[in-house]
Structure 1
Amino acid sequence: MNRPRRSVVKPPISEVLKHYYSIDVKQRAGWSKILCPLHVEENPSASVSTEKQRWNCFVCQVSEDSLDVIMREEGIGFREAQDWAHERFGGSRQDVPPAVQGEPGRGVHQGSRPGRRGGQVRPGVRRFGADWT
């Protein structure tokens, strides 16, 4: 028996990026360039969309929404990330569906895939502005 899907209430990507990485994202149409919070760089290789509520890095091959960021940074699952986001950022929990077993995640890719650079992005790789020396 298939349950009807309900929408998931997520915190705005701009608030999550500000919370974890001190990145200020301006509300605007389209994609904005930002420095990737997962690796050191001088020129922006990442972008964020407040319309689509996602960010991605072309170097790391990472594409995440706000709940993906919370799950990675806090080291928690989907349902726990929803609860954490609700406590931190507020919002309604009425439209949040129960966890669905067997559905793959969409966040950080673990391991290499054909046609992509090898290597992994680990949770908590670095905080924005971390010293690498």
Structure 2
Amino acid sequence: MNPYIREVIDVHVAIENWLGKGEGDVEALLARFAPSFSMVTTGGAKLDFAMLSAFFRGQGAAKPGLKIVVEEITIVEDWLTGAVVSYSERQSLPGQEATLRYSTVVFADGKWKLLHETMAV
């Protein structure tokens, strides 16, 4: 399996475990993201690495029963030290309707550098 596809899957498993059960190592999760990481959320807000770190550190087990399924993972482009990957991500919580988002991530030097998420309607 392509290492960037594997990383997309693995990071979402780690996020599901951390947010849904408080399991895992939040510092190991954060180490996957570049210090210069930036993200555009589904609501249009911009997050940097410090904001992402504060979010994850404060949200262990905050979403009990969270399930995340990633699908349609596609390498848009790759090169020696990085890649652009697109994927769909379905999140569900008990008793709530699932949400679907489309995401594009830029990897640089093995780390998440830029993430852009768009909510499906």
TM-score using structure 2 length: 0.24
Give 1 or 2 for the bigger CA radius of gyration: 1
Task: Tell me which protein shows more helix as a share of its residues.
Answer: 2
Choose between structure 1 and 2: higher strand proportion: 2
